[in-house]
Structure 1
Amino acid sequence: MAEENAKESKIVKDEKEVNPKEATKTGEVKAEEGKPKPVAKLKSKRRLVASNGSVYIKSSFNNTIITITDDKGNVIGWATSGSAGFKGTKKGTPFAAQIASANCARKVVEMGLKQVAVYVSGPGSGRETAVRALQASGLMVTSIKDVTPIPHNGCRPPKQRRV
């Protein structure tokens, strides 16, 4: 009897208690956890939108922000030079604006957007290249408007840099 208890205790010592988190790393699974778990279905992120929309390009000296909306004004896609992978002073370049604009346009073309009206604001260098990238990505640009706010002798602007 004493020998049987000793054998049972050895068996218990040989079996390891495995955490479920560790089980995925080592490949060990307890008998109770061997059952397949039900997988939750993911909702499709892609939604269909109207074929017409608006593109708002805000181009500053440091960054370019592109926002694409549907007819009602609901945002269906956006991108910035920073989200395209550029950091620091490279965010203000025309190339960064072109890449960000192409990324954003690719997202909304998959959703079904075809025609856009473009509204550009700001003094940045990425204005024209962002519009060209929209046209090259398959969106039909119906109109381009400059909506940069211009003061009627309001606040004094910051001094120009001497480089």
Structure 2
Amino acid sequence: MVKETKKQKKLEAEKEEVLVEIPSEEILEEEVLEESDSEEEHSGRSTASKESEAVIHIYTSFNNTLVHVTDMSGKTISKVTGGMITKHSRLKSNPTIGMFIAKRIAEEVKDLGIKSFYVRIRSKTRNPAPGPGAHSIVKSLTRDGFKILNILDTTRMPRGGPKVKGGRRGRRP
């Protein structure tokens, strides 16, 4: 009899536990909410700020200016060149054309909600400075209200390698 009473007590205790349990769906929903709250607290930026960043690749030579806007994964958002703004070949690298390029980019990017940029400026290999349009593009983007997070010069510089065509004194007319 003593054994039967212990078994009965265990069965009654299990029944009470079953009655007290909350349905598993509600528990799962609460866990998901708690996890998303904890992720936002731990990560310094929310998901909206990650989407509002892009990378601007500016290639400037003394003949033309090319601007390529990508998202953080590298997918193209917009691409504008000096030739799309003007057809005069002597004006494609002009700082004024750089302003118009930046305006066109700003119009296309504002619709997507992008508010900040990482800027990568590149000029022709071996050139010590970028072309005249790069500075005006960055300047006009900041005037339009965009935040510049980083400016990086990615111009390629040779480390030794083959001799440059044209000789020591360069090409002469």
Q: Which residue of 1 aligns with 2:94?
A: 93
Q: Which residue of 2 aligns with 1:104?
A: 105
Q: Which residue of 1 aligns with 2:81?
A: 80
Per-residue deviation at 1:88? 1.1
| Partner Cα separation in structure 2 for residue 84 and residue 116 of structure 1 | 22
Per-residue deviation at 1:89? 0.7
Mapped pair 1:129 → 2:136: yes
Give 1 or 2 for the bigger CA radius of gyration. 2
Q: Deviations over 1:96-118 (max 9, x none)?
A: 12211221122111211111100
Per-residue deviation at 1:85? 2.5
Q: Deviations over 1:61-120 (max 9, x none)?
A: 111001111111101111111111342111121211221122112211121111110000
Inter-CA distance 157–118: structure 2 relative to 1 (3 Å threshold): farther
Mapped pair 1:113 → 2:114: yes
Per-residue deviation at 1:161? 7.7
Inter-CA distance 144–157: structure 2 relative to 1 (3 Å threshold): farther
Secondary structure at 1:92's aligned position in 2? coil
Q: Which residue of 1 aligns with 2:28?
A: none
Q: Which residue of 1 aligns with 2:151?
A: 144
As a proportion of its length, which structure holds more helix? 2
TM-score, normalised relative to structure 1: 0.63
Checking the alignment, whether the CA contact within 8 Å between 1:55 and 1:116 is kept in structure 2 is: yes
Q: Which residue of 2 aligns with 1:28?
A: none
Q: Which residue of 2 aligns with 1:71?
A: 72
Worse overlay, 61-70 or 94-103: 94-103
After superposition, residues 17-96 of structure 1 pair within 5 angstroms as 50-96=51-97
Inter-CA distance 97–86: structure 2 relative to 1 (3 Å threshold): farther
State the aligned residue count.
114
Secondary structure at 1:120's aligned position in 2? strand
Q: Which residue of 2 aligns with 1:26?
A: none
Inter-CA distance 86–139: structure 2 relative to 1 (3 Å threshold): farther
RMSD: 2.1
Unaligned runs of 5+ in 1: 1-48
Amino acid at match of 2:73: K
Secondary structure at 2:85's aligned position in 1? coil
